[in-house]
Structure 1
Amino acid sequence: MNGDDKARAIHDLKPTIWIGKQGCTMALIEEIQQQLEKRRLVKIKWLKNTEVDPARIVELSGGDLVDVRGRTMVIAARKKK
């Protein structure tokens, strides 16, 4: 898959995690971890009035940050060594 194909795949991916007024809770982090195990790629969106630190979410979830654009981020599962 070349760079254009990857970008298109990420763009076409539907968000499966939404962060609301409560922000990013540990329950949400656990859900992200579960989805990473199943899907390998997770798209997350959050509300305009919600403060989100993408780097912190990636750190807590154990994934790798793929992209952040506006109020949307994509995390990939880390490759096993």
Structure 2
Amino acid sequence: MKNTESKNKDMNCLKATLWIGKKGCTESTIEEIRRQVEGRKTIKVKWLRNTDIKPEDIAEKSGTKLIQTRGRTMLLGRKQN
């Protein structure tokens, strides 16, 4: 249970560094996710209500690990080799 509390706390403490707008997840968005994950271990991504997003697909396309999803917010991190 402590591990879940730790993840929830991590998600609340981070500020979103990327917003996905009405155009959805474009190739430039995927590139920005890659760039940010290289500089940080974990990033927080949010998206608009009217935008259809599948967090698993974004993680796969960007080569990142989907850590957590809550509502319209997801945490992405570096994949461990």
TM-score norm. by structure 1 comes to: 0.90
Which amino acid is the alignment partner of residue 8 of structure 2?
A
Give runs of aligned pairs for residues 11-50 of structure 1, distance below 5 A: 11-50=12-51
Residues 27-57 of structure 1: CA deviation (Å, up to 9, x unaligned): 0000000000001101000000000011110
Give the Cα–Cα distance (whole angstroms) in 2 for the partners of residues 22 and 47 of structure 1.
10
Give the Cα–Cα distance (whole angstroms) in 1 for the partners of residues 69 and 59 of structure 2.
11
Q: Post-superposition, which runs of at least 4 consecutive aligned residues in structure 1 deviate over 6 A? A: none
Q: Percent identity?
A: 44
Q: CA deviation at 1:8?
A: 1.2
In the alignment, structure 1 segments of 5+ residues that lack a partner are none
Could you tell which deviates more after superposition, 41-50 or 6-15?
Answer: 6-15
1:64 aligns with: 65
Give the Cα–Cα distance (whole angstroms) in 2 for the partners of residues 68 and 33 of structure 1.
18
In the alignment, structure 2 segments of 5+ residues that lack a partner are none
Q: CA deviation at 1:6?
A: 3.8
Which amino acid is the alignment partner of residue 68 of structure 2?
D
**Does residue 56 of structure 2 align to residue 55 of structure 1?**
yes
RMSD (Å) for aligned C-alpha atoms = 1.2
